[in-house]
Amino acid sequence: MICMAVLPSDTFAHKAQRILTANGYSCEMIRTTSQQDGCIFGIRIHGDPEQIRALLQRGNVPVKSIRMERDDT
């Protein structure tokens, strides 16, 4: 399962990537834009969204949202 955690800043995206990698998750940091939110920083992760949200919250990383993405593999 692939999901994307949307984070409030580049700093939190880097912190989230370190936490997730240290806990064995395969992830990549991404930056994109949307008309509604402007610049979006996020992490694309292979894993369960609720476990990822809980792990990031324990690491004091504020998560704006977690979106499911298509897995084309």
pTM over 0.75: yes
Distance CA 33, CA 73 (A): 25
Q: Could you read off the pLDDT of 9-65 as tens digits, one per residue?
A: 999 999 999 999 999 999 999 987 767 767 788 899 998 999 999 999 999 999 999
Inter-CA distances, 45 with 4, 19, 32, 36, 53, Å: 6, 12, 16, 23, 11
**DSSP SS3 for 60:** coil
**CATH class of the domain comprising 2-69:** alpha beta
Q: Domain residues of the chain, as ranges?
A: 2-69
